[in-house]
């Protein structure tokens, strides 16, 4: 007999860490038909919500109930490195395990991270066929299109917005709601100003009298009448305007026409061999490097950067080329050193200029004085992008740059790349980001081969 699917319900959930309220009165019902996407800035509480729903953390207030009580819930965590496997291989293995669990409700934290296109197809086929409920924290906009509703955890206000439909529906509804709110607030401000001006004129008339034979009104009566009218105006809260993240990447100087060239390049890393590869990157080129997980994309990027030696073939970097990398892993800011100190050391900027630049990447005074390893993956990624801007690189190497960025930062990085005049090489499985990158050339790697034994 087919297993009975049920409902997971969260009612008025609140959760704080110290003085910071992460969740505030959130209610959510996950039915068998639910496909709920959870979005919001990094650090807002998306993963905390999943842990509370999974029963891993207890809420400070509110309840999480299962109907029926034996409802099976499985949780895919965001950090899932598996010993001996690449990020993509580990992601695929963990995903296959949770999909095979037969759970009634799936809680997925960034399930698309590190998956190649074949892995994404596997995930999406399962989402379409799964008969139970699903809640997914994700920044993959193509994946979010498959959702039945989007839950937005809003910064600053700590409110929760629920929007029916997928990603495009959410964007349209959110935009329309903001326009309505701004219009209502403008009307509210205009009416208050009109009543304030009316009250001012009435006070002036009261002070001057109302003409021959008219009795002067008392000032307190004029004020009381004005206050009554103001009280009748329905109050509209001022719309919250988030601090906009504006990423900017500008080459300090242009290099030569040929930025980099690999000729019959072969790279051997451990037991695997990539190549031979021929590649030429010219000024203004956008190269998308494609291939399944394990095909050697990151290995080839390391060879292009000069961080791995070639087993055979040649590598040439053009005159004036300044290469800069946004790596897939923890990057240069994952140690014990304070972010500001490490940034100054790597960029060569004075502290004041470094602080100002980091602030434009939404890394403010408190953030820059923290040890790099205490920052979120998204914060470390923004610091790495800021370092590229500080160095004025004219050739970018981007290895899965969207993995640790929230949606606002991803869209801002897209805009920054759209205006970037240098060359760029991209490895990504973010389909929307790849489309926005608009590659001028693509190179697809076959599956990596075992290296030949030494003679």
**Annotated domain spans of the chain:** 7-173, 258-450
Q: What is the pLDDT of residue 455?
A: 47
Give the position of tokens 């496909």: 35
Cis peptide before 267 (omega within 30 of 0): no
Q: Alpha-carbon distance 25 to 156, whole Å?
A: 15
pLDDT tens for 342-356 read: 999 998 899 998 998
Q: What pLDDT, on the 0 to 100 scale, is given for residue 288?
A: 95
Is the per-residue pLDDT at 17 higher than 90?
no
Q: Which CATH architecture does the domain made up of 258-450 adopt? A: 3-Layer(aba) Sandwich (3.40)
Residues in the chain: 455
How far is CA 245 from each of CA 158, 238, 408, 415, rounded to the nearest angstrom?
Answer: 19, 21, 7, 11
- Mean pLDDT check: name the lowest of 15-29, 114-128, 209-223, 347-361: 209-223
Domain 7-173 identical in fold to domain 258-450: yes
Which H or E element spans position 277?
A: strand 272-282
pLDDT at position 2 is 45
Residues 411-431, mean pLDDT to the nearest whole number: 87
pLDDT, mean over the chain: 82
CATH C-level class of 7-173 = alpha beta
Question: In whole angstroms, what is the distance from residue 391 CA to residue 275 CA?
Answer: 31
Give the pLDDT confidence score for residue 206 in this predicted structure: 67
Inform me whether the pLDDT recorded for 214 exceeds 60.
no
Statement: residue 318 has pLDDT above 80: yes
pLDDT of residue 35: 93
- More confident: 406 or 213: 406
The tokens describing 313, both together, are: 């073939």
Residue located via tokens 């869209």: 411
* Encoded tokens for 151: 């839950």
pLDDT of residue 90: 73
pLDDT, mean of residues 393-406: 86
Query: Distance between alpha carbon 19 and the CA centroid of its chain, in Å?
Result: 24
The predicted pLDDT at position 159 comes to: 78
Judged by average pLDDT, the poorest of 14-23, 229-238, 368-377 is 229-238
163 φ/ψ angles, rounded to the nearest 5 degrees: -125, 120
Taking alpha carbons only, the member of 103, 119, 53, 113 closest to residue 79 is: 113
pLDDT tens, residue by residue, 172-207: 988 888 888 788 888 878 877 887 777 777 777 766
Tens digits of residue pLDDT in 41-66: 877 888 889 999 999 989 999 999 99
pLDDT(13) > 70: yes
pLDDT digits (tens, 9 = 90+) for 78-122: 665 756 566 666 777 777 777 777 888 999 998 888 788 888 888
Share of the chain above pLDDT 90, in %: 26
Ranges assigned E (strand) in 77-232: 105-109, 133-137, 149-153, 160-164
- Of the pLDDT bands very low, low, confident and very high (cuts 50, 70, 90), residue 1 is very low
Q: State the average pLDDT over residues 127-155.
A: 90
Instruction: Work out the average pLDDT over 201-217.
Output: 61
Q: What is the largest CA-CA distance in the chain?
A: 119
First to last CA, the chain: 61
């Amino acid at each position: 007999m087919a297993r009975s699917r049920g409902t997971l319900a969260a009612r008025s959930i609140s959760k704080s860490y110290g003085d910071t309220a992460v969740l505030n009165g959130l209610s959510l019902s996950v039915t068998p038909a639910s496909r709920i996407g959870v979005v919001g800035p990094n650090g807002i509480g998306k993963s905390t919500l999943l842990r509370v729903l999974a029963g891993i953390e207890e809420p400070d207030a509110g309840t999480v109930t299962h109907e029926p009580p034996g409802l099976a819930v499985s949780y895919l965590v965001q950090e899932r490195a598996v010993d001996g496997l690449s990020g993509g291989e580990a992601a695929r293995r963990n995903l296959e395990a949770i999909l095979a669990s037969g759970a009634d409700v799936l809680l997925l934290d960034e399930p698309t991270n590190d998956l190649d296109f074949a892995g994404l197809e596997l995930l999406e086929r399962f989402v379409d066929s799964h008969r139970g409920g699903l809640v997914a924290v994700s920044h993959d906009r193509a994946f979010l299109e498959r959702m039945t509703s989007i839950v937005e955890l809003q910064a600053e206000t700590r409110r929760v917005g629920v929007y029916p439909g997928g990603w495009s529906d959410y964007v349209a509804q959110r935009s329309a709601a903001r326009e309505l709110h701004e219009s209502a607030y403008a009307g509210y401000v205009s009416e208050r100003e009109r009543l304030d001006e009316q009250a001012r004129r009435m006070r002036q008339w009261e002070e001057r009298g109302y003409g021959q034979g008219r009795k002067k009104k008392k000032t307190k009566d004029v004020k009381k009448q004005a206050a009554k009218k103001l009280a009748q105006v329905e109050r509209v809260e001022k719309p919250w305007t988030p601090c906009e993240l504006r990423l900017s990447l500008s080459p300090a100087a242009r290099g030569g026409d040929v930025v980099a060239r690999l000729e019959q390049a072969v790279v051997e890393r451990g037991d695997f061999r990539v190549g031979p590869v021929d590649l030429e990157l010219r000024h203004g080129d956008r190269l998308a490097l494609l291939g399944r997980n394990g095909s050697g994309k990151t290995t080839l990027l390391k060879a292009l950067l000069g961080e791995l030696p070639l087993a055979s073939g040649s590598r040439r970097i053009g005159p004036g080329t300044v290469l800069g990398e946004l790596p897939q892993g923890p990057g240069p800011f994952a140690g014990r050193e304070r972010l500001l100190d490490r940034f100054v050391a790597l960029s060569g900027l004075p502290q004041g200029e470094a602080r100002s630049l980091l602030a434009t990447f939404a890394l403010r005074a408190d953030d820059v004085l923290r040890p790099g390893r205490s920052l979120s993956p998204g914060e470390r990624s923004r610091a790495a992008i800021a370092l590229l801007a500080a160095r004025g690189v004219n050739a970018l190497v981007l290895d899965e740059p969207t993995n640790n960025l929230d949606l606002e930062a991803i869209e801002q990085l897209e805009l920054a790349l759209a205006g970037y005049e240098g060359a760029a090489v991209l490895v990504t499985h973010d389909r929307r980001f790849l489309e926005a990158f608009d590659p001028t050339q693509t190179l697809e790697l076959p599956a990596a081969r075992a290296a030949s034994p030494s003679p």
